[in-house]
Amino acid sequence: MRDGKGKRQETKKTAKTGAAGSAAGKKPAGGSAVTNLALGSIRQNRSRSILIVISIMLTTLLLTVIASYGYGMIRSNHVNAGTLYGTYHGVYAGVGTEELHNMQLRSEFAQIGLAASAGTVQSGVPETGSGDVSMSLMWADETTRQLMNLDRQLADGHFPEKAGEIAAQPGFFRMLGYDNPQIGDSVQLNTRFSMQDYFGPETFVISGLIKEDTSQGTSGSYQAFVSEDYYNGRAAQQQYSVCFRLSDSVPVTGDTAEDVMKTLARDCGIDDRYVSENSAYVMWSLDPGRETIVGCALLALIVIVFSVMVIYNIFQTGIAHRVREYGKIKALGATKKQMKKLIFREGMLLAAAGIPAGLAAGYLTASVSFRILVNQSDMADTEGFVHVSLFSPVLMIAVAAAAALTVWIALKKPMKIVSSVSPVEAMRWQGRDGKTGGYRKGKKSIRVTGLTMASLSNNRKRTAMTIVTMGLSCVLFVSMANFAGNMDPSYDARKQIPHGQFQIELDYSLSDTAYPENNLDQILKSNPLESRQIREIGNLEQVTEIRVQNRLSAVLHRDGNDTKKTAVAVLSREDFENEISQGSTLGNPDYDQASADDAIFYGWSNFLGDEGYELNDMVELTLDDGSETRDLKMPLAGSFGSMDTEWAITEETYHKLGFEGESPGVIWIDCAEEDAEELQQELYSLTSGIEHLDMFSYRDALETSEEGVSMMKLFTYSLTGLIALISFMNMANTMITGIIVRKQEFGILQAIGMTNGQLGRMLRQEGLFFTLGTVIVSVVFGLPVGYGLFWYGKTHSWIGLHEYHFPAAEIGLMILALALMQLFLSRMLSRNIKGESVVDRIRYQG
């Protein structure tokens, strides 16, 4: 027989070698004891374990989707950069033979291709030279065609080799009356080389047909190709657009490419203002540059931090409340190292189930959705486009490692708590924190709201951590809502058609010396948009409103000499404010101040310096409304970002200068949306045969914008939907864990008089408190981040981002969804608790 001391020694020895035994009462040995205990704990708390696995899986899925999308975008653009954007690095315009010779002597240029404008083609009435469609002639040598992928656009035949040959889209020839153009057909065109020449007939033989651009429709611009011999025979002095590819020895990145090209241009005697960088190809084919790298790194960091916070809170709330259970194990003799290993192994076993599932689901989600997005874009229709695989073993390992790392970080504090607490303290553990040392302050009487606040304040860290992690889950949603919610295609469409359903405007030139009747100053003398025409349009049954914007012809002067002809828009207060809202303004444009000063504004802020003007300069010019002129000196008060005209004044200035008549340059016609199609046909009939008029439809502009916006919204809302799901799982885990570990407390409260209704209200109030805290965190942090994303997108001309709107609908939907989910969980868990007897709940030991 063994004495008491021997029994204690044996018990101590058993605890050290086998910890506390398995959940089934078996005596494990060695390292398998910890694993068996971890598995037993997972099985015992099956519901909680499933929630943790799902949360880890969804977080891993999110990391996988974002990483795969980033990898797929970079790899797809890198592989297809030459196919999509051409293989040239840039273009120098206005290059003469001497500058070209200088380029050819430099080793920095690996390939040099030449192209040049060879004139324009008349598409309208032969006697006047007017036309609604821009049709031009161009020559490009073989190197340029290769660098710009022009050879891939050839559907049949070959590019011109002789002076009398031409190649163009079938639509080009249809605009000239040739409905079924074929290779070898002869066509007659009225052409001219420059604005100083008259149109004259020429006969060409079709040598090639270029693929039709389906996005262009039946209007816009067309370009036909002619031979080098034709260009040389027409040009008195050769001026080229030089397309070039830099040598591999030139150290260039996406950040430095433009500066390098400008430096080379100056070295060759070329004005660096005429440098055009093929930015898309440069960015994706070379080092993407600091901005792209920093952006990707920042996004990855945000995702990692978010994932750490979510998984940490899940384990903190899920494991820390089981300290009493672990205290029993430690009382049986487990060491600190064994306790840490137990918590670590339990977490890693759950991660081992969640991470692979998240990787597989994330890769499948990313692959399918990425392929859909690519197919919806125009890229997939490009000849030679290669679909890339998103699978990367290195990427999958990195994501798995990041997910495992977040789990390990999440386990650090629970491991420390469990290993450091003594068995006696563990048995007394209530899962509370704060200065009270785990004891609540008593009160004479307390209501349901007081019980709710006592429970929340008793676990301040857990409450705060839950709110922060749930809030951060929703921060990404709010940020994306600021981005996607403001991506309205109507903004893009309204930038083209500011008012109404239709826009009719003057089609004019400024310096056509061969046909001066096509110039604005001459058109205004017999304005096709004169008052009678506007009245006829206004009398149409469908028309509800007509807006008119006057336009003036102008001649700029310097030192008493005429420098150039230009156009001046007369802006109403509304149009003036609209131009300001587009951004990129210079100075401080103010309508009232500009009217008081009789000031003038430039229309393109990026090119103000090229015009030789600075803010506050006096602009000397002659204004002409078609019937009278004014010689003026007007202060240059500022510049708008981009306008249809180079210059603008206010309506008040227009009238103060004595222009009492009307000189309409643009009219906007509005109608009920259901009448738009009928009115369009009426307007076509009314304006057909009238020269110098173009008509545009808001509906057409809107459809074009919607195509681009829909693809972006699909991606962003899919991402936010996934984030919302993860947030919900985190919330569900927190509430379920909190309720399970407080079953005994609820049983005691009901034993002393708390009703089922009061218990339900208490759980609902807790849920709503978490919802309120989540909303505050997500709004406080999400709105600034979202506005920053919007501002960056707007300054970089991302589609649909023109005017900021507070995402009230999206945030309201988020609040409603969170509240409903909280109430649903509270009701479900409340009913679950009520299904157990009060005695069973009091006896519950967690």
Q: Which tens digit of pLDDT belongs to each residue from 439-456? A: 445 555 556 676 666 666
Dihedral over Cα of 357, 360, 366, 368: its sign: negative
With bands split at pLDDT 50, 70 and 90, how would you rate the model's confidence at 781? confident
Q: Would you state the structure tokens that stand for residue 366, as one six-digit string?
A: 């990313």
pLDDT band at 356 (very low <50, low <70, confident <90, very high): very high
Q: Is-contact 374 79, C-beta < 8 A?
A: no
Dist CA 304 CA 60 (whole Å): 10
**Of residues 112 and 125, more confidently modeled:** 112
Q: What is the dihedral of CA 193, 199, 200, 201, to 10 degrees?
A: 100
**319 vs 410: CA distance, rounded Å:** 10
Provide the sign of the torsion angle of the four alpha carbons 252, 258, 264, 267, taken in this order: negative
pLDDT at 258 exceeding the cut of 70 = yes
Q: How far apart are CA 37 and CA 329, in angstroms?
A: 9
44-53, 136-145, 256-265: which range is least confident on average? 44-53
Note the pLDDT of residue 844: 57
Q: Are 438 and 430 in contact (CB under 8 A)?
A: yes
Please give the average per-residue pLDDT across 198-217, as a whole number. 82
Phi, psi of 685 (to 5 degrees): -65, -40
For 329: left if phi > 0, alpha if psi spans -120 to 50, otherwise beta; the answer is alpha
Q: Say which residue the tokens 């040389």 belong to.
A: 232
Tokens of 360: 């597989």
Whether 222 shows a pLDDT value over 90: the answer reads no
Specify the amino acid at residue 735: M
Q: What are the start-end ranges of the E strands in 572-680?
A: 586-587, 600-602, 618-624, 629-639, 647-650, 664-671
Nearest Cα to 499, choosing from 591, 578, 602?
Answer: 578
Assign 216 a pLDDT band (cuts: 50, 70, 90): very low
Question: Which of 382-391, 585-594, 834-843 holds the top average pLDDT?
Answer: 585-594
Residue 566 has pLDDT above 90, yes or no: yes
**pLDDT tens track for 597-636:** 999 999 988 888 777 888 989 999 999 998 889 999 999 9
Residue 112: enclosing H or E segment and its boundaries? Answer: strand 109-121
Tens digits of residue pLDDT in 528-554: 887 778 888 888 999 999 999 999 999
Beta strands in 169-311 (DSSP E): 186-192, 200-210, 221-225, 240-246, 275-277
**pLDDT of res. 217:** 40
Alpha-carbon distance 99 to 740, whole Å? 81
Q: Give per-residue pLDDT as tens, 669-703.
A: 999 989 998 998 888 888 776 778 888 899 888 88
pLDDT (0 to 100) of residue 122: 83
Tally: H helices and E strands in the chain: 28, 20
Q: Tell me what the pLDDT averaged over the chain comes to.
A: 80
Residue 241 has pLDDT above 90, yes or no: yes
The pLDDT of residue 129: 41
Rounded CA separation 530/551 (Å): 12
Span of 397-411, 568-582, 640-654, 715-729 with lowest mean pLDDT: 715-729
Asked if the model's pLDDT at residue 289 lies above 70, the reply is no
Give ∠ CA 440-446-451 in degrees, rounded to 5: 60
**Alpha helices by DSSP H, 86-194:** 97-104, 142-147, 170-174
CB 783 within 8 A of CB 463: no
Tell me: pLDDT of 731 over 70.
Answer: no
Q: What tokens were used for 131?
A: 């036309």
pLDDT of residue 22: 39
pLDDT at position 742 is 67
Q: Which residues face 168 on adjacent strands? A: 209
Quote helix, strand, coil % in the chain, to nearest 5.
55, 15, 30
Amino acid 686: pLDDT: 82
Closest residue by Cα to residue 482 from 205, 811, 240? 811
Give the Cα separation of 558 and 550 in Å (integer): 26
Indicate the residue type of 138.
Answer: M
3-state secondary structure 553-596: EEEEEECCEEEEEEEEEEECHHHHHHHHHCCCCEECCCHHHHHH
pLDDT digits (tens, 9 = 90+) for 488-503: 888 888 888 899 999 9
Between vectors from CA 380 to CA 376 and to CA 386, what angle results, nearest 5°? Answer: 140
- pLDDT for the residue numbered 21: 39
Question: What are the residues facing 820 on neighbouring strands?
Answer: none
Torsion of CA 677, 678, 682, 683, to 10 degrees: -30
Residue 359's pLDDT is 94
Whole-angstrom Cα distance, residue 43 to residue 192?
86
Distance CA(672)–CA(679), nearest Å, equals 10
Q: What is the pLDDT of residue 808?
A: 83
Would you state the pLDDT for residue 822? Answer: 75
The pLDDT tens digits for 319-335 are 656 667 777 787 878 88
**Which amino acid is it at 302?**
I
Percent of the chain having pLDDT more than 70?
Answer: 78
**If you average pLDDT over residues 229-250, what whole number do you get?**
91
How many C-beta atoms surround the C-beta of residue 388 within 10 A? 17
The more confident residue out of 508 and 716 is 508
Higher pLDDT, 384 or 95: 95
Confidence category of residue 126, pLDDT binned at 50, 70, 90? very low
| pTM beyond 0.85 | no
More confident residue, 486 or 263: 263
